Amino acid sequence: MSARRVVSLVPSITEALASVRPEALVGATDWCTHPANLDELDRREPLTRVRGTKNPDLAAIRALSPDLVIANREENRELDVRRLRDAGVRVHVTVVETVPQAIACFEELFDDVLDWPRPPWLAIARELWRGPLPPVRRRVAIPIWRDPWMVVGSRTFAGDLAHRLGLENVFGSHADRYPHVSVDDIDSCGADVVLLPDEPYAFSAADGVFAVPAELVSGRLLTWYGPSLVEAHASLSRAAD
């Protein structure tokens, strides 16, 4: 049966669901900021905000009587998923560490989990991101946090997306997914450029404190994996030139 009341605990997935059936989206996190008019879209009842991805208001979620809650293994806590399931709430947990996984995740979500039609952007994204990998055009470091400094390491969606644009992540072989590093580590890592996304940490030009050049990029295009996949291919390709 088609899902009629859905709570999304994942910003990327919230944006994707809103592109198809915004009226079925009854709950989302405070971090779900796209589409920009999410709270004003046509719906039968106001959208309920259920706090953050790491501290969702489980009582508020249960009160919404959803027939489905969608979570993600990286962004949400296993404890919260277990507590919701123990309370009888159906929870679907996604796993997305690569661009192909993201596309396959949404195809499964719309076809089998939600029983909704696939949105047009999904087919466009599949076509844009298929094909052979390009040659390396630039070596990059990608911080995601400051104080302490953290960078994109191995087995991450952002790292895979960069790789598919010809951007070699110099910390991509690190044992950790988001290793803690120092400014000296970044300066000596052999990067041609440091990419500073504006989320999850809101980097600005003032954070370009490195010996190598730094460029500001959209954090949504680099780390989200819904409709943004279409725009990301064109926009971030420029960062590889």
**Phi, psi (degrees; rounded to nearest 5) at 143:** -65, 145
- On the question of pLDDT at 239 being above 90, the answer is no
Long-range contacts of 104-111 (CB under 8 A, 24+ apart): 105/225, 106/16, 106/226, 109/13, 109/16, 109/70, 110/20
Percentage of residues in the chain having pLDDT higher than 70: 100
DSSP letter, residue 180:
B
Work out the average pLDDT over 5-10.
98
Neighbouring C-beta atoms of residue 212, cutoff 10 Å: 17
pLDDT tens digits, residue range 102-131? 999 999 999 999 999 999 999 999 999 998
- On the question of pLDDT at 44 being above 90, the answer is no
* Vertex 150: Cα angle to 149 and 151 (nearest 5): 130
Q: Does domain 138-240 have CATH number 3.40.630.30?
A: no
**Phi, psi (degrees; rounded to nearest 5) at 204:** -130, 180
Alpha carbon dihedral 9, 99, 240, 130, in 10-degree steps, equals -150
181's CB contacts (< 8 A; 6+ apart) are: 149, 150, 151, 171
Q: Which residue has the higher pLDDT, 64 or 42?
A: 64
> What integer best gives the mean pLDDT of the chain?
96
pLDDT tens digits, residue range 144-184? 999 999 999 999 999 999 999 999 999 999 999 999 999 99
Q: CA separation (Å) from 238 to 40, 109, 137, 138, 217?
A: 33, 31, 11, 11, 10
Q: CA separation (Å) from 136 to 156, 166, 167, 240?
A: 18, 4, 6, 9
Are 2 and 68 in contact, with CB atoms under 8 Å apart? no
Domain boundaries, the chain: 6-128, 138-240
Q: Is the pTM of this model over 0.85?
A: yes
- On the question of pLDDT at 42 being above 90, the answer is no
Structure tokens at 151: 């960078």
Taking the C-alpha atoms of residue 226 and residue 220, their distance in angstroms, rounded to an integer, is 10
pLDDT tens digits, residue range 62-114? 999 999 999 999 999 999 999 999 999 999 999 999 999 999 999 999 999 99
Q: Does domain 6-128 have CATH number 3.40.50.1980?
A: yes
Neighbouring C-beta atoms of residue 202, cutoff 10 Å: 11
Q: How confident is the model at residue 56 (pLDDT cuts 50, 70, 90)?
A: very high
Task: Sort 26 into a burial class: Cβ within 10 Å, 0-12 / 13-18 / 19+.
Answer: buried
